[in-house]
Amino acid sequence: MIDSIDHIVLTTKDVKACLYFYCNILGMEYKINIIDNQKRISLKFGNQKINLHTESKPYLPHAKNPISGAVDVCFLSSIELVKWINIFNKNNISIEIGPVKREGAKGPIVSIYVRDPDSNLIEIANKIK
């Protein structure tokens, strides 16, 4: 039986812009590892990990069609959405939709949706208590 997700892979056209968004805007940390003589970058937050691949040079093995802008992911946050809205507004990041109620993996959530620099759809959500 599958217990959890260990990591996902995010393909990017621009590593610097990607790192700025996920680290400086969303507050994740990045880590660099050397594996098979290649520099590999990952994003860390909580117990989660996102590996970054560049669209022009994806690592092996990789998805059949590794392209940027194809991810739609929801991040849960303990920071209130009004604060996220302020953060996005201060950084000229448009909110596409929200706040809207949705059904999360463990119950109801309220979400806002933005795009990262590669146009991936990023959902930031708070659990509804």
> Would you list the domain boundaries of the chain?
8-127
Q: Per-residue pLDDT averaged across 38-61, rounded?
A: 89
DSSP for the chain, written as a single string: -------EEEEES-HHHHHIIIIIIT--EEEEEEETTEEEEEEEETTEEEEEEETTBPPSS--SS--TT--EEEEE-SS-HHHHHHHHHHTT----EEEEEEEETTEEEEEEEEE-TT--EEEEEEE--
Average pLDDT in the chain: 95
| Annotated catalytic residue 123 | yes
Task: Give the residue among 48, 49, 41 at the shortest CA–CA distance from 20.
Answer: 41
The fold for domain 8-127 equals: 2,3-Dihydroxybiphenyl 1,2-Dioxygenase; domain 1 (3.10.180)
**How sure is the predictor about 103, in pLDDT bands with cuts at 50, 70 and 90?**
very high
